[in-house]
Structure 1
Amino acid sequence: MADTTTQTASTRGTRKERVGEVLSNKMTKTIVVRVQRRFAHPRFKKVVTAYSKFYAHDEKSEAKVGDTVRIEETRPLSKLKRWRLVEVVDKSSGVERVAA
């Protein structure tokens, strides 16, 4: 019984982290991050790519569109924001993609 409480206490303090690409930085102190997730389909066993979109708090407005960033889970900051920017992992080259 003591083992379960020790294990729960150690995992409780950790926060989820995700790495993704910045889609938008048009809002004040807010960025939209797309996180890619790959998994095997349960029935067909084909590798499927799924994307999730997270709103994250960017206090210094340092992330630009196309940058790869690391975000961390935090307390609710607004209706949609539950993540905050930890660091900019990779800066984009500045060349924007053309929508097909």
Structure 2
Amino acid sequence: MPKRILTGTVVSDKTDKTVVVNVERKVKHPLYGKIIRRSKKYHAHDEENAYKPGEVVRIEETKPMSKLKTWRVIDRIVAGKGEAVEADLSENA
């Protein structure tokens, strides 16, 4: 059976070797026909703690690693916004 692969945004990396990925999908409302967004959060294994919040990643279904973790991160699609760095604007000319 093929493994499912989903694309989502990392929303948390606070736990060790785990990231929380928010996967959004669009579905049509059964009665009204309007397209609505549904989202779900998945806990995914990140061995090197390499992924940070804001990055878009692909996750793959795997055997259960813990109570909540049954996915692992395959790769990064879009890098997140970097941290803000203050410029040194002192005039020492």
Q: TM bucket by the smaller chain? A: 0.7 to 0.9
Unaligned 5+ runs, structure 1: 1-11
Identical counterparts, % of pairs: 40
Q: Are 2:2 and 1:17 equivalent residues in the alignment?
A: no
Q: How many residues align?
A: 84
| TM, length-normalised to structure 1 | 0.81
| Distance in 2, Cα, partners of 1:95 & 1:39 | 34
Equivalent position amino acid for 1:82 in 2 = T
Q: Cα RMSD over matched residues?
A: 1.2
Unaligned 5+ runs, structure 2: 85-93
| TM, length-normalised to structure 2 | 0.87
The Cα shift of 1:94 comes to 2.2
Q: Which has the larger radius of gyration?
A: 2
Larger relative helix fraction? 1
Equivalent position amino acid for 1:33 in 2 = V
Question: 4+ residue stretches of structure 1 with deviation over 3 A?
Answer: none
Match of 2:89 in 1: none
